Every structure is written in structure tokens, then in C-alpha cells.
Structure 1
Amino acid sequence: MNTTTAEHGREFWRGVLLAGGFIALPRWTLEPVPGIGEHEARIPDELVAAVRRLADELAVPLSSVLLTAHAKVLGALSGEREVSTGYATVEGRR
């Protein structure tokens, strides 16, 4: 993809996402601070296997199942029936 096409695509999706609005998700702390939070947790092997089986049964990539779960959580936290989310791929890691 050439730079012009990539820039056009980025601008298109930026417009789509901005048109959808913005919802601030609640933070579970008494002293919230602006910025990005990060949390790591180990996922039990049995759960990983179950999610992989679901992806196989649906004939979709594992990343699609995980993105769907992410969207469901965003919807539950925001109280919205429709949410927009996504992720950027890193060159060579698709």
C-alpha cells in the first residue's frame, strides 16, 4: 500500500470513529488520573483452550473472538448497545 492510500485510509477511519462519539469508561479508583492504564493477568490454560476451540468452531481468527469479547465489555461498561473499537496491526505480525 502506498503512502497516499495509507493516509487516505487512516483519515477515512479517523472520521468514522470520531463521528461515533466518545464515551469515557469508569475507573475503579478513588483518585483517578488522566492517561493510559495497563494491567497484566495470566489467563488460565483451560480458558485459552476454550477460546481457541470457539475460534476454530466459528472458523474465525482467535483475534476476532478476542476483539468481540473486548467490544462486549466496552458495551457493558458504557451502557451502549453499539460500540466502535479496533486495533492496529504491526507490519509482519498479522
Structure 2
Amino acid sequence: MNLDEVSALKLVFDLNRNLVFPPPVIIPIHIYEELRPKTKVTMRGLVRYFVSREANQIQITSGLVISRVTDILLTDANIHEKLNYCNLSSRINAIIRRRGPRR
């Protein structure tokens, strides 16, 4: 894991926390269509998805770096920020249950 990449990606979110909190996309059907989940969606998985979208903008593709920054952001997040993601993941999981998992 490249610590310079972790620092660079973390700095992006330090400068503009609104990139990830609250969730940039709050319409569950759009996220369902983008992710095409095979199993249930978790709060951490959603945060990681939005972190990876921003990481790709600055050419960071390492899964380890993205996971590390996701963990840092979730550790620093307050209860309301986490609750937004919990609610969104619940709504996406309701769609999955209704439509069935993608194959």
C-alpha cells in the first residue's frame, strides 16, 4: 500500500468532505443500476464505492488504498453521516429483495 496515495486521497476528502458525506447519489435505484449487486449492500460498501469513484478521478486504483481511506473516513464520520449511508443501503437492499440479485 502506497502511503503517498493514501495521503493524497485523504486530502481530497479533507478539502471537500461533501464528496462523500452525505452520499453524493441518494436515489437507490440509480445506485442499484450502477452497482448491480449480487448480494446485500452495506454502509461500508457504499462509502467505498463513492471513495473509489473519486480515487479514479486522480488515477488511484489500488483497492488497498481505497479501503484504507474508506476506513479512515468511517472512523471520523459522525452518527448522522453514518445513518445516511445505513438508510440508503437499507433502501437498496429492499430493491434487491424485490427484484432479486443480479446475475
Q: Same fold (TM over 0.5)?
A: no
* TM-score between the two structures when normalised by the length of structure 2: 0.36
Larger RCO: 1 or 2 (CA < 8 Å, sep 6+) = 2
* TM-score between the two structures when normalised by the length of structure 1: 0.38
Bigger radius of gyration among the two: 1
